[in-house]
Structure 1
Amino acid sequence: MVRNLRAIALVAGLSGLLPTPALSQALDVPVIEHADEDFDTCALGRVTGLKADGDRFLAVRSGPGSDYTKLDELHNGDKVWLFDQKGKWIGVVYGVEEVSCSPVVKDRPVPHEGKKGWVHGNWIEILAG
């Protein structure tokens, strides 16, 4: 049905009037694993400090800033793997127990399984790394 509505809207020149479904985990800015031959490429962190009388979640975004699309929500106690940083924003992988943080010789988009996105660093506590 939705496909038919989109086809009709395209023909009628109205495609901009139909809502476009958000693609899950579609990043506008990829999370990068930065090369270092001597040190691990990530750290383990935990979401902390979210107030009960506030939003009660930390938005995961498609890029490092509040203007980027919200992809998901994290809550106090959720663990995240920290890979990248742009200002106060941290590129994370989450929803997996373990990832390899072994040194790499060339920068690359994070290849690990799990969900990826950007979160504001104010609510991340580094546990290890």
Structure 2
Amino acid sequence: MIWSFSKRFGVGLGMAAIAALPLHAQALTVPVMEHATEDWDTCGQGQVHGLKSDGDGFLAVRTGPGSQFDKIDEVYNTDKVFLFDQHGDWFGVLYGVEEIDCSPITGSKPAVRPGAKAGWVHRDWVRVIAG
């Protein structure tokens, strides 16, 4: 993958920064972060795949990177997700929109885009298609 996840953790948010986030982002226990990189886009693109039709049929979107976090939404096979963050086997994603600007930034910040939803999904069910 083009973007490096090795420096993506340990970024704390103050209460003022959390209060400034949209309500959907505030619902996340662990915010999805957009990280500054040198000359690289801040996100990749993925597609939900491999969900069995005889199983649940959806991939749970959670408030943080782990099954112990609350489920806040569902995504389905072929849904597009934009990959911004990673913690272990969990991707921090934005989704629910066709396109997202992932241009390089100068400082790390919460990943927020108009109309996009944010959350965490298990990487086993996401095929990285760009990034």
- Relative to the length of structure 2, the TM-score reads 0.78
Q: Does 1:31 align with 2:14?
A: no
Listed as ranges, the gaps of 5+ residues in structure 1 are: 1-22
Tell me which residue corresponds to 1:55: 56
The CA deviation string for residues 32-75 of structure 1, in whole angstroms up to 9 with x for no partner, is: 00111310110111000001111110000000000101000000
CA distance in 1, matches of 2:24, 2:104: 29
CA distance in 2, matches of 1:58, 1:104: 30
CA distance in 1, matches of 2:68, 2:100: 29
- Relative to the length of structure 1, the TM-score reads 0.79
CA RMSD in angstroms, aligned pairs only? 1.3
Whether the 8 Å CA contact 1:24–1:71 is kept in 2: the answer is no
Deviation at 1:111, TM superposition (A): 2.4
Runs of 4+ in structure 1 over 6 Å off: none
Listed as ranges, the gaps of 5+ residues in structure 2 are: 1-22
Mapping 1:101-120, distance limit 5 Å: 101-113=102-114, 114-120=116-122
CA distance in 2, matches of 1:35, 1:88: 21
| Structure with greater Cα Rg | 1
Whether the 8 Å CA contact 1:40–1:101 is kept in 2: the answer is yes
Aligned residue pair count: 107
- What SS does the aligned partner of 1:68 have? coil
- What SS does the aligned partner of 1:122 have? helix
Q: Percent identity?
A: 59
The CA deviation string for residues 73-92 of structure 1, in whole angstroms up to 9 with x for no partner, is: 00000000000000000000
CA distance in 2, matches of 1:107, 1:24: 19
